[in-house]
């Protein structure tokens, strides 16, 4: 409609011969400028406005691989076992990966990702990478970061494609699964922020102290939550798709400015925001597909898996039945939290490298901030789940020789069923019971 309107205006105000001559003279005087503008228009037309389905898939692969590589590099200690922050295995009794096997596995991730980006038909490399990543995820739940979770499923979706240029139907089907994962992530990320905790600290977490000087500061967090959820819906509509892309890009640029310039924090999500901007352009900008094609009309069986994990199971998180990080609850301010309290001389038994994250409180009590510890050593937040925090508390108890002066204080997330209340565990109590 806008293009037609622009053409209509041009027809209604056609230049006179004198104007045309003057314009021609001006352009002839600057042939280099004209050539540059023509080149830019060609690039825009071919790369952004006129991508073929196969180009969209190929570019999506490149974007995800680069984003994943950047995330792995920025969180390199997360993927090895030679560290102080505890490993949180899914199953107790798993044989520990010793050095150098853990480093070899991490090197394998980088090699397989590189092969995915370079191979003409990357399916075997994607499956190998996914198997290795899931294997490492069994040894540490902190590796289930939201960006790794999303990237993994985008790559698995691309593995469903034959990688034949003439497989047009397969191209569209695979692209629609990727679109489902992305749109659902925006939608639930917005819904997760509709909570009183985000209303209290939402702007502060993004703008720092200057948030308090904004007018109607208590209203903006709710607007932000609705804005993000609306992006997820708009991406799946024909009428508002391009507008949703523009709004989402603006949101990511704002987040990048906040994280890099204002609060100087969480560098591991910086490339994630850049990757999401690129994926928005590659998957959604001026793309032709329907809501039904994304949600259900797809012959690839993996689409039902993506629909279950990204579209249905996150609903259970609002009732405390599904993990926050698997439900796009990053930065919602409504996730489980925990700290370890020390009394007496217990702090001296903690490794020196960990003591830097211990702060003194009134009453001769010290607190080990688990989030600061994870961010400082692994450059990622701890996986927010009560079972994870109890396992971390158990490991701290081993440092302190099961001292009764060690207390794990936890606060679960609020749900639609109940408001969370603080709980405490001690070394001589529940922390030493291996039932998580």
Asked whether residue 304 carries a pLDDT value surpassing 70, the answer given is yes
pTM value is 0.86
CA nearest neighbour of 435 among 370, 386, 369 = 386
DSSP 303-320: HHHHIIIIIIGGGGGGGT
Assign 221 a pLDDT band (cuts: 50, 70, 90).
confident
Model pLDDT, residue 401: 85
Tell whether 290 and 197 lie within a shared domain. Answer: yes
Structure tokens at 38: 């023509």
In a domain, 41, yes or no: no
Tell whether 261 and 399 lie within a shared domain. Answer: no
Tell which of 304, 327, 350 closes a domain: 327
Q: Which residue range is the domain that position 182 belongs to? A: 53-75+145-327
Tell whether 275 and 377 lie within a shared domain. Answer: no
Tell whether 171 and 253 lie within a shared domain. Answer: yes
Model pLDDT, residue 30: 58
Model pLDDT, residue 18: 40
Tell whether 393 and 412 lie within a shared domain. Answer: yes
Tell which of 294, 327, 360 closes a domain: 327
In a domain, 221, yes or no: yes
Tell whether 316 and 343 lie within a shared domain. Answer: no
CA distance 36 to 42: 10
Asked whether residue 28 carries a pLDDT value surpassing 60, the answer given is no
Q: How many domains does the chain have?
A: 2
Give the list of residues 6+ apart from residue 8 with CB closer than 8 angstroms, or none: none
In a domain, 111, yes or no: no
3-state secondary structure of 395: helix
Tell whether 311 and 193 lie within a shared domain. Answer: yes
Asked whether residue 24 carries a pLDDT value surpassing 50, the answer given is no
In a domain, 95, yes or no: no
Tell whether 68 and 214 lie within a shared domain. Answer: yes
Tell whether 352 and 427 lie within a shared domain. Answer: yes
Tell whether 419 and 306 lie within a shared domain. Answer: no
| Residue 431: exposure state from Cβ atoms within 10 A (0-12, 13-18, ≥19) | buried
CA distance 48 to 67: 19
Residues 79, 109: contact at Cβ < 8 Å? yes
Contacts by 122-126, CB closer than 8 A, 24 or more apart = 122/61, 122/158, 122/159, 122/163, 123/159, 123/161, 123/163, 126/155, 126/156, 126/158, 126/159
Q: Region 213-240: what's the mean pLDDT?
A: 88
Asked whether residue 4 carries a pLDDT value surpassing 50, the answer given is no
Tell whether 241 and 308 lie within a shared domain. Answer: yes
In a domain, 19, yes or no: no
Residues 425, 408: contact at Cβ < 8 Å? yes
In a domain, 405, yes or no: yes
Tell whether 272 and 357 lie within a shared domain. Answer: no
Tell which of 290, 305, 327 closes a domain: 327
Model pLDDT, residue 110: 97
Q: Region 347-367: what's the mean pLDDT?
A: 84
In a domain, 177, yes or no: yes
């Amino acid at each position: 409609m806008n293009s037609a309107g622009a053409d209509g205006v041009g027809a209604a105000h056609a230049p006179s011969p004198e104007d045309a001559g003057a314009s021609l003279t001006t352009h002839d005087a600057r042939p280099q400028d004209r050539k540059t503008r023509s080149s830019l228009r060609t690039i825009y037309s071919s790369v952004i406005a006129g991508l073929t389905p196969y180009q969209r898939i190929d570019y999506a692969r490149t974007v995800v691989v680069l984003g994943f590589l950047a995330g792995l590099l920025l969180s390199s200690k997360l993927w090895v076992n030679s560290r102080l922050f505890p490993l949180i295995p899914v199953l107790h009794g798993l044989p520990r990966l010793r050095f150098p096997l853990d480093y070899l596995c991490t090197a394998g991730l980088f090699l397989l990702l590189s092969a995915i980006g370079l191979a003409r038909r990357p399916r075997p490399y994607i499956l190998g990478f996914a198997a290795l990543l899931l294997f490492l995820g069994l040894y540490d739940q902190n590796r289930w970061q939201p960006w790794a979770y999303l990237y993994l499923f985008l790559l698995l979706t691309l593995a469903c494609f034959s990688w034949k240029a003439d497989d047009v139907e397969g191209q569209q089907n695979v692209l629609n699964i990727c679109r489902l994962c992305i749109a659902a992530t925006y939608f639930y990320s917005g819904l997760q922020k509709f909570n009183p905790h985000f209303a209290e600290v939402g702007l502060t977490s993004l703008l720092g102290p200057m948030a308090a000087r904004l007018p109607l500061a208590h209203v903006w967090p709710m607007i932000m939550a609705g804005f993000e959820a609306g992006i997820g819906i708009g991406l799946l509509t024909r009428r508002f798709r391009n507008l949703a892309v523009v709004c989402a890009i603006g949101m990511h640029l704002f987040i990048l400015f906040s994280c890099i310039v204002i609060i100087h924090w969480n560098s591991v999500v910086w490339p994630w925001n850049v990757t999401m901007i690129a994926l928005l352009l590659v998957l959604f900008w001026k793309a032709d597909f329907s809501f039904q094609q994304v949600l259900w009309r797809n012959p690839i069986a993996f689409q039902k898996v993506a629909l279950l994990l990204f579209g249905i199971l996150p609903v259970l998180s609002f009732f405390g039945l599904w993990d926050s990080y698997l439900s796009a609850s990053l930065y919602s301010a409504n996730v489980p939290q925990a700290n370890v309290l020390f009394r007496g001389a217990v702090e001296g038994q903690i490794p020196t490298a960990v003591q830097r994250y211990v702060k003194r409180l009134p009453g001769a009590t010290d607190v080990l901030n688990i989030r600061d510890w994870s961010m400082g050593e692994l450059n990622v937040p701890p996986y927010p789940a009560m079972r994870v925090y109890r396992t971390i508390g158990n490991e701290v108890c081993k440092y302190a020789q099961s001292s009764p002066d060690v207390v794990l204080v936890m606060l679960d997330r609020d749900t639609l069923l109940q408001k969370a209340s603080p709980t405490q565990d001690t070394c001589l109590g529940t922390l030493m019971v291996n039932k998580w």
